[in-house]
Chain A
Amino acid sequence: MLEIRNLTVTYGLHKALQGVSLTAEKGEVVVILGANGAGKSSLLRAIAGISEGDVAGDVTLAGASLRSLGADRIVEQGIAFVPEGRGIFGDLSVWENLMLGAYPERARARRKQNLERVVSLFPKLAQRRGQTVRTMSGGEQQMVAIGRAIMSNPDILMLDEPSLGLSPLLCRDLFENLSKIRETGIGVLLVEQNAKQSLAMADRGYLIENGRITGEGQADALLSDPAVQKAYLGGV
Chain B
Amino acid sequence: MDILISGLLLGGTYALIAMGLTLQYGVARIMNLANGEVLVIGALTAFLVYTSLAVSPLVTVLVIAPLAFAASWLVYRILLLPLVRRAKNQGQLEVDSILATFGMGFFLVGGMVFIYPELFAYSYLAVPVDLAGTTVAANRLVAFGGAVLIGLALYLWLNRTRAGLAVRAVAVSPLAAGLVGINVEKTSALAFAIGGMITAMGGVLISTFITLDPSFGVIFTMKALIIVIMGGVGDIRGAIVAALILGVVETAVATLIDPGLTLAAAYTIFLLVLLFRPEGLFGRRPA
Contact = CB atoms under 8 A, between A and B. Distances in A.
B173 interface: yes
Interface residues of A, number: 28
Contact of B179 (A48, A52, A90, A92): A48
B181 A88 contact: no
B172 interface: yes
B176 interface: yes
B172 A50 contact: no
A89 B176 contact: yes
Nearest to B181: A104
Does more than half of chain B's interface fall in helix, strand or loop, or is it mixed? helix
Contact of B169 (A81, A89, A107): A89
A205 interface: no
B163 to A, nearest CB: 11
A92 B182 contact: no
A75 interface: yes
A71 B184 CA distance: 9
Contacts of B181: 72, 75-76, 103-105, 107, 152
A91 interface: yes
Interface of A: 48-50, 52, 70-72, 75-76, 80-81, 83, 87-92, 96, 99-101, 103-105, 107, 148, 152
24 contacts: A71-B179, A72-B182, A72-B183, A76-B181, A81-B179, A83-B175, A87-B175, A87-B176, A88-B173, A88-B176, A89-B169, A91-B284, A92-B168, A92-B172, A100-B165, A100-B177, A100-B182, A101-B180, A103-B166, A103-B169, A103-B180, A104-B180, A148-B180, A152-B181
Interface of B: 88, 162, 165-166, 168-169, 172-173, 175-184, 284
